[in-house]
Amino acid sequence: MSHFTHIKTRFQNLFYLEKALNRLDISHTEQEKSGITTYHKSLIIPQSNGYNIEFAWNGQEYELIVDMSFWEQPYPIESFIDKISQQYAGEVIIGESQKIGFQPIKYQQNADGSNTLILERWNNEKVMAKV
């Protein structure tokens, strides 16, 4: 008997969620879903046992839908969500910072599991000084 679990997340942007999964080398596909008045995409992470993991839009965020009886990932679900959350946060910081002129110059994963992100922005305005 399967028992699907819906786990709330803070993933609200599909673009950044996909980038986070790509950075973690987590294979996934998009699936289009439509209802009577809604249309959205879900992300499916295939598992070899056929019980796939899904990030589905619930109207506010992409929640994780999984049958815990058939979890087949190399680490516990809490670690799985933590890893994706950390990468998602980094992708949001990079993407939103680029919108205001910052460019990432360093993105490094540290031995302790944390990430270091360095951004820079150059001011292209000419500065004149009278001496």
Report pLDDT digits (tens) over 95-104.
998 998 888 8
| Whether 9 contacts 61, CB under 8 Å | yes
By 3-state DSSP, what share of the chain in percent is helix, strand and coil, each rounded to 5? 25, 30, 40
Mean pLDDT score, 23-49: 87
Cβ neighbours for 4, distance < 8 A, ≥ 6 positions apart: 65, 66, 67
Give pTM, 2 decimals: 0.82
Token pair of 5, please?
Answer: 């679990």
